[in-house]
Amino acid sequence: MLADVFRQTIARGLQRKAIRTCSKWARLYRIMGPPHPGPWGPGPAPWTLDMHDSLAPVNIGQKSAQMGYTETALNITLYKIDIENLDCLYVLPAKTPDASEFSAARFDPAIELSTHISSMFSSVKNVGHKRAGAVNLYIRGSNSRSALKSIPVAFIVFDELDEMNQDNIPLAEERTSGRENPQIWKISTPTLPNEGINELFLESTQEHYEFICPFCSRIIELIWPDAIKIIGDHHSNCEDSHLQCPKCKHKLDHETKTIWLADGKWTPYGDASLDVRGFYINQLYSIKRRPEEVVKLYFKGLIDKASEQEFFNSKLGLPHIVKGAQVQAHEVNRARGSRRKDDPLPDNKIITMGVDQGRWLYYEIVAWDFESLGNDLNMSAKANVLAEGKVVDFEDLDVLMRQYQVLKCVIDAQPDRRKAYEFACKYWGHVLLCFYARGQMGKMITIDPSTEQHKITVDRTSWLDVSLNRFRLKTITLPQDLSEEYPEHIQNLVKHYKTDKYGNPMGEYRNMGPDHLAHAHCYAEIALPLAAALTTNKNVRIYL
Ligand SMILES: [Zn+2]
């Protein structure tokens, strides 16, 4: 009896010594639940095998949804803890619900199904901090700076990077400073071109998963649209669409995928000598999801913007800007009028100013033209931009308030709330601090009932829609001597479409670079109905 235990212990010890790679470790210790129960194997996601064993210090995964990248990152994390005794940090977009869901839906099943993994951990109750003997696993949301401080680790995963608070990513990365050979994984479904995961991928080896066509024996890749034979012309009649070899056009059966994908290889399309490896994959590779689902969403995307965005981002794993989601250069150019910034002011106009706080104070000053003051004022009014630009401090805003006889100014409340507040007190009734919020209905403007707060709350997407749509609707005139930054900032705000948890399409503006003047432009727009309410002494609601 004792001899048996002794033999088993020796055997286990030898077995552990033989584990030099993460994929070996996962095959031995990781037990999966449904839909592929049993010991882990690369079968359901063959492209992840080589990813498990990457030794690159930085690894970038640009992917479509549900391609096994999170499972891979979890395996590597557990391997680092078990075999290399390294402290690890797993970062998700938010603490709630992402970090708690990850802990319950990914981490807990991994320990429940494997006696080895469950024996590794001495304490797992805390959602954000699991202990494996002297080694720590931190699971954190990117939205809290304090949760990312003072935790030294040698391995970090950023999961769904494009949804994270981008400002806090460098803070998390600093956690590896001073550690020998740290490794970082960043994975995400992409959003916009040259942003987030896509920007990082473009600076990597840019590897694609290639394999040999079972019919023509040439090296091929499953890419849209070459690798798909579309049958039908609508999302309701395309179920016979199927995969095909992009070279010999022979049908590739979805059912036999595991066979012909098994010997695939990651091939660099970028600079192979880089020590940042990038892994790109799309849903045509999915063993689980059928290719006709991709075709279905393609047809849906032809009629609605949220589906178009989802088709490119979540199915093809590609960044994408939906048509009309970004103001075009020619739309800004054609808005230029003959007026120059220091020409005399037009008579008898309502004049508003929007101010966005950044390293500078960015402003836009608008004189408004409208037939009559009434409901939905922003839709009927035309904007004549008198001036735009940036100044150093709040004293400079005083000069602008007087020079342009600004009736109402809306200013970004952040980051210097105190200075903005002092400015509002100085021009009591003429300046409001603006907070962007979610869950506000459309163009509502919620005015804080205590007037001494000088505070309003608005829905970000709705008001950016109204103010940026002016360029398409040709209801804006810009000064001839526009700053160089202005067109750039306006174009840097791009609407990204999503479907919310109830399946409703929603949009959110993301920036592809500096966007302060675009926000100043938006605040000047918000100021219009507030100015109208001030001159008529009526509730702002009647102008919305
Ligand atoms: Zn072929």
Q: What structural domains does the chain harbor?
A: 19-221+266-289 (3.40.50.300), 329-543 (3.30.420.240)
- Nearest 5°: CA angle at 511, between 510 and 517? 120
d(C-alpha 158, C-alpha 447), whole Å: 38
Instruction: Report, in angstroms and rounded to the nearest whole number, the Rg of the chain calculated over CA atoms.
Output: 28
Residue 225 Cα to ligand 1 middle (Å): 15
Residue 66 Cα to ligand 1 middle (Å): 26
d(C-alpha 410, C-alpha 401), whole Å: 12
Torsion sign (Cα): 405, 407, 410, 415: positive
Summarize pLDDT for 24-74 with one digit per residue, the tens: 999 999 999 988 899 999 999 999 999 999 999 999 999 999 999 999 999
Nearest to 480 by CA among 387, 404, 409: 387
- B/e letters for 52-76, b = 16+ CB within 10 Å, e = fewer, are bebebebbbbbbbeebbbbbbbbbb
Residue 262 Cα to ligand 1 middle (Å): 16
Residue 252 Cα to ligand 1 middle (Å): 9
Residue 246 Cα to ligand 1 middle (Å): 7
Residue 231 Cα to ligand 1 middle (Å): 19
Q: Where are the alpha helices (DSSP H) in 460-515?
A: 460-473, 485-492
Q: Where are the beta strands (DSSP E) in 164-206?
A: 183-188
Between the alpha carbon of residue 294 and those of residues 63, 201, 274, 304, the distances in Å are: 14, 23, 32, 15
Token pair of 171 as six digits: 């803070």
Q: Answer whether 361's CB lies under 8 Å from 393's CB.
A: yes
Name the DSSP letter for residue 7.
H
Residue 227 Cα to ligand 1 middle (Å): 10
pLDDT, residue 227, reads: 98
Spell out, as residue ranges, where the chain has pLDDT lower than 50. none
Residue 212 Cα to ligand 1 middle (Å): 8
Residue 51 Cα to ligand 1 middle (Å): 26
